[in-house]
Amino acid sequence: MGRLSGKTAIITGAASGMGLSGAQLFAQEGAKVVLTDVVTETLERETQSLAESGGEVTSIVLDVASPESWNQAIDHTINTFGGVDILVNNAGIHQAKGILEAELEDWNTVMAVNSTGVWLGMKSVIPHMQTSNGGSIINISSIAAIVGGVPDAGGAAYSASKGAVRSLTKHAAQWFAQDNIRVNSIHPGAVFTGLAAKAGFTKESMGANYSNEIPLPPHVGDPSDIGYGMVYLASEESKYITGEELVIDGGWTTH
């Protein structure tokens, strides 16, 4: 019996990085998993690969910034698996523009995916969780929500959007505890994923880049470091934890 047996999970941004790692670990732990993303080809390939290794999985294209897209994803989930117990709001985009460099369109684009997307996700699943046995919502924020971003990769809209996720998580945790719905945030530090690769890093160069800031070798995280955190917060092992911030950063924010 897996740690997530009998549960159905929706994961956004599941075609790569932390979202994909979460989907793989959730499937291993016995969850039925709905992988969602805007990147169709990779999404289908990764879902197929998980199904071939025995996972009970399905996928649907979901743009987290679109309410219509959320409606379709929820319908697909209910029709396929009969309900939803876990939501991982993981999809996110990064932009390294400061307050003075960013234009309004830049700001709105980041906010739409990173903050509005998380709100829409919760708004879409909570009514279904309220009429079943509750659920667990895991919002992927960042240490940028706590420390304001790092000089070389920081973005004003990014930090603000992740700060919104941090406080919205606590708001939802308070409001829906009575329905046995738990809401927690994960705050990754530097993790080597597609987001980092697009910014021009390799895992080694990213580790070298952060060796003075991140005390724990190799000074950069793997997607599964975050995926295991998702499993814990999704499972009954964390049944008395809500509104909490799980920082997974190799000790970066200790100084």
Ligand X SMILES: NC(=O)c1ccc[n+]([C@@H]2O[C@H](COP(=O)([O-])OP(=O)(O)OC[C@H]3O[C@@H](n4cnc5c(N)ncnc54)[C@H](O)[C@@H]3O)[C@@H](O)[C@H]2O)c1
- Closest approach, Cβ 242 to ligand X, in A, equals 20
Distance CA 163, CA 242 (A): 17
Distance CA 81, CA 78 (A): 5
**Residue 120 CA, distance from chain mean position:** 14
Among 7, 26, 29, 37, binds ligand X (CB under 6 A): 37
Q: Which residues in 141-180 contact ligand X (CB under 6 A)?
A: 142
Does position 74 interact with ligand X (CB under 6 A)? The reply is: no
3-class SS of residue 137: strand
- Closest approach, Cβ 195 to ligand X, in A, equals 4
- Closest approach, Cβ 211 to ligand X, in A, equals 15
- Closest approach, Cβ 62 to ligand X, in A, equals 6
Distance CA 252, CA 255 (A): 7
Among 194, 215, 218, 243, binds ligand X (CB under 6 A): 194
Q: Which residues in 196-215 contact ligand X (CB under 6 A)?
A: 196
Say whether 232 is catalytic: no
* Burial track 192-213 (b if 16+ CB lie within 10 A, e otherwise): bbbbbeeeebebeebbebbeeb
3-class SS of residue 143: coil
Catalytic residues: 158
Give the interface with ligand X as residue ranges (CB under 6 A): 12-13, 15-19, 37-39, 62-65, 90-94, 113, 140, 142, 188, 190-191, 193-196
